[in-house]
Amino acid sequence: MPQRNTPRRDGRGRGFENSERLRELLTRLDAEGPDAWRNDPVATELMRYAADKYAALARKHGLDPWEAATAAFEAMRAPSVRRADDPWAVITRAVQITCIAENRANGLLCSVHQARRPRYSSFHDAERFSDRENLLTDYHPAFRADPFTDDDEDDADDEVEASGATGVESAVEDTIALLCWYGWEPVVARAAIECICARLAESVSRAGAYESLRRDRHARALLDIPAPSWYRLLRIVLGSPDASLTGTNASRGVLLRLLIGESLRHLLTDVDLAVAVTVAAPGVMRGRP
């Protein structure tokens, strides 16, 4: 009576469905060097088999089967897999962990490496700021409080609450339109503003959001915005923390100015703001010596 783990000989798996045959194949590929994975026809069949084997697992986490096959490939190259009692069991677990991390990384808008860490994976998925049904002024106090502890701007809170006609979604869209008017790419402008607003919703104040974003190199890298452009954009949108600018429009920032009643048309007439936004555009900053 044939054994249950007898490898198939239909030309598709070449026997590597069995863990011992897989161990032999991986050992041979490792001994032959890195080019073996590229040139060996059995290695090609192995990867096709892995893509089929883990297709359901990949779809469960919203991934392409070949992304799961890539995770399997990375695991197969590890010496620990060749030494394991059951190589396929180790590979399957590695693919499962990678699929979960990939799914979390897509939701959190971060790297897979970070998504594997509990300090990041514990957060909820990122969401578009405009998808919120309630106004930010109702949801979070950051827009109702003075960002840099200036007593002269305490009345800004009352102005925001009294100007219920200006919604957060409108302010966000106007901010994006302002950036695009002065040379920002629409996709980059939208992604940057939504990132800033999402962080603002998690912070206790605009000052806190400003400092958090200023130090967040990963967010800037994901947006592919040069550091000078990113820092200028934060000052434009959230307001400058410079104490000498306290009480000025530069200290309030574009979002707060829109929320307390200033129109986009009025902001477009602000010469200083126009220069700041134009200079901060990524293309301009990259072109500077």
Rounded Cα–Cα distance for residues 253 and 259 (Å): 10
Helix/strand/coil percentages in the chain, nearest 5: 70, 0, 30
For 153-191, the DSSP string reads GTHHHHHHHH-TTS-HHHHHHHHHHHHHHTT--HHHHHH
Question: 3-state class of 199 per DSSP?
Answer: helix
Rounded Cα–Cα distance for residues 55 and 255 (Å): 45
Name the percent of the chain lying above pLDDT 70: 73
**Is the whole-model pTM more than 0.75?**
no
**H or E element that contains 66:** helix 65-76
Q: Would you state the pLDDT for residue 169?
A: 83
For range 243-258, the mean pLDDT:
81
Structure confidence at residue 91 as a pLDDT band (50, 70, 90): very high
Q: Would you state the pLDDT for residue 152?
A: 46
- Checking if the pLDDT of 165 tops 70, the result is no
Among 12-16, 120-124, 137-141, 162-166, the minimum mean pLDDT is found in 162-166
